Chains A and B, each alone.
Chain A
């Protein structure tokens, strides 16, 4: 371990790091701009200058850029050296010559890295008295605002957007005093990770446009640690509220999951919490009288007492809510609110993770892999942050060369110069074009049957014990050989597949591949994606798919409780209507109006993720807790709380004698071995730090005594949180909370999100005390888990599901900004999909799937193979179809214009 001297004191430090990250990890305040822990160093801004001395006798020393110097044993540096201090102040003075000093009207103000660094260097007065250069700003779409005058030319935006996220439409133009960061002309920034620019930009050039609609300073937000609900990856977020509406979603660093970034669906999908289609008060069919909504509901449901209770759970509701419902309904009466095929797929996927030999990887682990095989998934659209991790993984193979050339990985400029456009192997087997194709070394576009045949053949070539699923043609054989070749060459291979393909054959063949590679390489990993934020959590619970209710004896009527679910998204309308008609009473607990809720007799308004606490299990198998951001108003309650009320009213409270979230978690943990660790995911509601709660509001929170003065001049008592150790005020501990319960990142002198470094063990490492979340599933088996895949005889045309990051997910599409990016329903077809009928762009096709007719305009995907057509799932206005499915009748109604 190298020992270095900083201002005459000795420190033992980690080798292989640069001086800047080392100083920051040691707790020193050293200003910087162009360096970013995830993007590395380029030595461009000259802000992190320190004095380096040749030896103990050297008193002159020389200025070096800390971000460009490796730590070395015996090194002597000074941060406080007067020359270094003056240099740093001058650098920021130059950077500020063109900065408009418009902090008072800038969205970044109060969480601005440039403000923090300016104060840190002591550049407190303006000295520049000339004209400042000005720019024209661009329209960049519904997510980001552009204000180029504030730019200090750190180049972080293009380095993130182009180099890290693979974007093509943001660039640096011109030189010297005219540098411009933007698109070539006005237009929507296309990359799915563009929202991160709001956090990557050290000042207010790129800011969150949705925040602007209801702007609130960082210090005025009531925030809580949350978990994204818009896909199965479970990125950690910070959710901020003011005046009863959710204002902002920002990144909550989790070294094992999302690191420093979020996708645009996760960052901008939050506005579904504020939309007018929210259910805000209970809808009760009979006139009841009561003091509170609870009493109303109690009286209204008492009449149902004694009837059989059936519960339908939800893949987007917490473990706790699903668990309480399953206990109220009782054994045999709890159903999963997912389609039968999704049920089977999720169950199988959970078995692969629990009973196979290959561990599921976190996103951090994926970034360390050097060979990636994606089977049947369009990860950019189904688990976006996974796609970002894959892009980083592809750098590992070529980076072996730069590391061998003594270029440390943190030295981004030199590394990229050495690596150029080289990428490690990425094989994508898919139904059609995917967004990662541009970085793939090989793509194979095929029907589910062909994908599974090839997958099984790969497994069989690697391990004789893996069963085949039919014979391959010449092209398929070549693909299989190539996959075997790259997998054998891997140091850390990862197989990525999941439930979104809709095909059991594809999922099982991917699992076979992973199991077979594992025989050769103990570092093999697997990633499976799921459709919703808690799909895996639900799959780990007992129960059957709700469509099976149809096959039951029809005379057993009773009460149906539907939890956070629009059944019309999981089954065709006729099936849902038939099931609902089986029951005398239908109760829906959800936060947003939909077809299922509209047709229920009793509707209870549930809190969204922002108004409740709970636990989700992400696709890795990681149980993660999210906390209530603000106390819900009107009749809105947490789902689990409504369920407790219902349980009491229906006379089944003895099945769940619980009053608090903690008690439910305890009962959940005791209910099954797999859920036992959920107890330890977060501290209980009684947890205190030196007797104090963790404040949700920063100490600078303003307007507290005045903000409700329009209703009452006396300040109301702040709500008390009985279910979490967090307070709803600014009072509480000033000490850093446990990593799972960090409500905002702030540190003296560090108001921006860059303060996260102060919460980490070391810069870029895990949060202090370990990253939040506990893995529930570890592979236990020694013997490989192989599936005998039954390859179905392919129909003439098979319609497969396609997914859209903006549109396919139920909740985010309710957010206006996301809806703006959502495509209209269409049918994707390749040039050869319909054999003789050539599909033209814009032609209108009529086809029959499962006996239902569907009329849609065609969008041509040149990559889609013969006999395969694609239907985007979940888009607003599209009915549910179980896919893949054969399409039997096809006619062209209208030619392309």
Chain B
């Protein structure tokens, strides 16, 4: 896990806050300073103007007496010189007579000259007869000298250097800037320290979150205090705790699922791996659990005395508890079957052993049948299981029931007294079918109607002829189709005990009886009649496209059917008829055995598949010839192939394509 997804430049909050504080301080102090300076300047100007006026009127008073004396210069010059010497800021101090001739000036050389006021003076204010004018350099008071009779005797010009009060203002400004610098230093340090302290919890929070991110969900962030960070830390801690719980749950769930799978594997290993075939009898079973593990179990076995046996049990309760009881049932069955007199004794003994170990309310229905292959007599007993079906060779269906209470229903006295054995001889072609509840109670997706015993017996009757493998496969598919997309609610288990028919010299293999299959195809199959030419074989594609069996297959499955039929027909055209004109061949698809089967009938030259070896594709010689593996293709594409050359009707080729991997495996095992 990456430590932190943030790789860009970091802007530390403490610096951001400090800089903002500084900027704000500068703005505030500068504005305050500017206002203060303006006020200072105005106050200073007022003050100086007043001083100018006062001094000017004073000089005018002195000037009036002086101008009346014979030599005004003698009085005025020393006064003005003293003023200039003592107060250099008075840049202009002149007294003139009414003609503008200078009579008083600090500079003696200018006495007697005509006074020219600075040209850039602009009048500014006028009060008490004294006017104030200003120039960029000077602030000047102009006071008239008026005699007692009101006549004008002269004028006083008194000017103050502006630089003087600029100096005063600058002094104020300097102290302000100093104060500002001080404020800034204090503000910066203060805000830096304060934010550093406030943001201290971010470090531990980030470290904590990174640890959680790396998967350490036991991490807790310890932040005390009542700031928002405290609440954030509490939220982070709550999140880590929730994640930890969720993770533990997920691990536990995984572990349970894994254990359920192990349990399923163990339970599957208790089921017989292969069918039992002996002396014309076949014992087989099939199971589909509703959950990972099943509450059903079945077994087929050979007894030490030569008899064969089959057992099927349904524990009240499915899933893991049911599965555990089934393993007890299987173990007891294996341990006791050779030590008991017969099925009823076996059931009773199992009940005695099992009852004390079952939880209250748990019980087991169990059907057991022993078959003596020498006599063909089947002896059976049932502990509360529903009746078995016996499909006779002629198509008649019998219900085989026997009395008995389920195992574990009578803890004090046991169920022995309620059990009774029954016997029936199996004739050639007879098939016994026994199921668990899940089969006939399987509800249809569309109508909700259960599959029912009638459909079980009808299915058993129609597939009985084809042998146990096809029968079990057909039943499995029929139940599945009945259920549709609805969920499987209960475990489904079927066992079969079949006695092979007299006509079958090759076990219960329906492909061993070509004429029966051909009759079946002609009766209810879908036919395609073709002229025996290679061009005509294209029509196989269109014909196949209309078959439900073909349409249901996936793409690979359809290709297998296409290529196998084409190769077989092409072989008949090229070799069987060897190009003879006017011949035909026929292909049928017939439902019934598994996914249905195909029959090809032709009257050409017979050929046999058995004496042809599968070509070795790695052999350069075979590759060189290129052709010659059409038959290899057919063998690999079809799950069953039987060629019957030269029958009464001609050459009959039978082939079928397995619906699933499972069928192929059982066929190989068988």
Co-assembled chains A and B: no
